[in-house]
Amino acid sequence: MTTIKKYLSLVKFSHTIFAMPFALIGFFLGVKDLTRIPFVKMYRFWDRPVMEKSMLLFRHRWWLFILVILCMIFARSAAMAFNRWLDKNFDAKNPRTAVRELPAGIIKANNALLFVIVNCGLFIGCCFFINKICFYLSPVALFVVLFYSYTKRFTALCHLVLGVGLSLAPIGAYLAVTGGFALLPILFSFAVLFWVSGFDIIYALQDEEFDKTNRLHSIPATMGKSKALQVSNLLHVLSAICVITAGVFGNFGYWYWFGIACFTGLLIYQHTLVKPNNLTKVNMAFFTTNGIASVVFAIFVILDLFLNQ
């Protein structure tokens, strides 16, 4: 295995598919908003009006697009590698995770930590070239995504903290384009928060007994599998409510509503795959179903942004 493949495996690079589509939604929502007048739903953070600076960014949106993608990759890679580094001793004890790169000795712990530091630096560097508000908030974003790794040690709400970390994707991408906040991308961020928290609870079902034995906290370890699935159901209902609210508030067209139908349908489908006494399809529910849901939803949202004039 080459060094690059080792580190791609360390951070589960393929799982970038969860939050990346929502970052693209935030980005293209920002691009679309630059063409809307009046510009009344924005707040100002820069020394000159947001509109003036935003139009400058609009002319260079493809370079900005690359920076946003890089920010997503670097932040997520830092967070995932840090989680693997911090949990290496627990992973070594757990038969399900003992084959991971650090407990298996494929990557040294110090090298993984260095990888985290490099990715943090690259993330902040990309934010510097985007705009001031993104640069100023970059340490806050890193704190959130890195802090998640500690939460399983003291709270069962760790799933929500993970959700908060990934929910920064749409609002962060929107900030990159416009330099300001708005309600619509915030609604998408809440949708991500509840969606990610819900499917992370499903994934954590696999480690219920291990977490109890090692005094780690999670919803399944605290409430049991059946009640944990009920909480996951509730969170996914809240996620669906958020995207529906965004659809109404944003005055989206039929492309968007078709995307919502696909997204909510896949949320429902993943809950048919996992039962308290049958976890054989957890990986299918966690990765395949959610990966398809985010990509399909993003495609239809972006189509609606530019076809629904």
Rounded Cα distance, 22 and 298, in Å: 6
Q: Three-state DSSP class for 102? A: coil
54: pLDDT strictly greater than 80 = no
Contact status, residue 76 vs residue 16, Cβ threshold 8 Å: yes
Number of structural domains (the chain) is 1
Query: Which CATH number covers residue 248?
Result: 1.10.357.140
**Other C-beta atoms within 10 Å of 54: how many?**
21
* C-alpha torsion sign, points 66, 68, 70, 72: negative
Question: Residues 131-186: pLDDT tens digits?
Answer: 999 999 999 999 999 999 999 999 999 999 999 999 999 999 999 998 888 999 99
**What average pLDDT score do residues 8-15 get?**
76
Rounded Cα distance, 27 and 172, in Å: 8
Q: Which residues does 215 contact at the CB level (< 8 Å), separation at least 6? A: none
Structure tokens at 24: 């693209």
- Mean pLDDT (the chain, rounded): 88
Angle at 196 between CA 166 and CA 249, to 5 degrees: 80
Does the bond joining 38 to the residue before it have cis omega, within 30 degrees of 0?
A: yes
Q: Three-state DSSP class for 278? A: strand
275: Cα separation from own chain's centroid: 25
Rounded Cα distance, 4 and 106, in Å: 12
Mean pLDDT is lowest, of 31-35, 44-48, 292-296, 297-301, for: 44-48
% residues pLDDT > 90 (the chain) = 72
**What average pLDDT score do residues 186-198 get?**
97
Q: Quote the pLDDT of residue 44.
A: 43
- Which ranges constitute the DSSP H helices of 179-253? 183-204, 208-213, 219-223, 225-249
Rounded Cα distance, 30 and 35, in Å: 9
Q: Three-state DSSP class for 40? A: coil
Domain housing 155: 3-307
**What average pLDDT score do residues 93-118 get?**
94
Question: Residues 240-292: pLDDT tens digits?
Answer: 999 999 999 999 999 999 999 999 999 999 999 998 888 888 877 777 888 89
Q: pTM here? A: 0.90
- Give long-range contacts, CB 8 A cutoff, 24+ apart: 233-237: 233/198, 233/271, 234/198, 235/194, 235/195, 235/197, 235/198, 235/201, 236/194, 236/195, 236/198, 236/199, 236/267, 236/271
13: pLDDT strictly greater than 80 = no
55: pLDDT strictly greater than 90 = no
For 249, phi and psi rounded to 5 degrees?
Answer: -65, -40
